[in-house]
């Protein structure tokens, strides 16, 4: 179940249309997930991650941030498709 959720979250982020999920950003190393502070989709995803007993708070690290900061990270740390 969690793998499907991760796949559903990460696929739009790695597609050419990265702005679809503007409430989330995954770093190129896939070690940090930024979620918008006040977005219902981000809140739902954060709740799911917190309730998963296998997630220990790292890998990925989840950071709640304002939308402007997520947009900044997306501009400065572009994920390059290979």
- Ranges of residues in the chain with a pLDDT under 70 are 1-20, 80-82
Q: What is the pLDDT of residue 81?
A: 62
Least Cα distance to 20 among 41, 37, 2, 49 occurs for 41
Q: What is the pLDDT of residue 1?
A: 54
Least Cα distance to 25 among 15, 35, 11, 37 occurs for 35
Q: pLDDT per residue over 1-14, tens digit each?
A: 566 566 566 655 55
Domain positions in the chain are: 2-76
Residue 59, phi-psi category: left (phi > 0), alpha (psi -120 to 50), beta (remainder): left
The percentage of residues in the chain with a pLDDT greater than 70, rounded to a whole number, is 71
What's the whole-model pTM score?
0.68
Q: What is the pLDDT of residue 18?
A: 45
């Amino acid at each position: 179940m969690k793998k499907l959720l991760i796949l559903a979250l990460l696929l739009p982020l790695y597609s050419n249309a990265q702005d679809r999920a503007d409430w989330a950003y995954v770093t190129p190393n896939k070690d940090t997930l930024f979620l918008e502070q006040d977005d219902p989709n981000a809140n739902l995803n954060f709740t799911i991650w917190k309730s998963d007993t296998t997630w220990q708070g790292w890998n990925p690290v989840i950071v709640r941030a304002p939308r402007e900061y997520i947009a900044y990270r997306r501009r400065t740390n572009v994920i390059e498709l290979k």
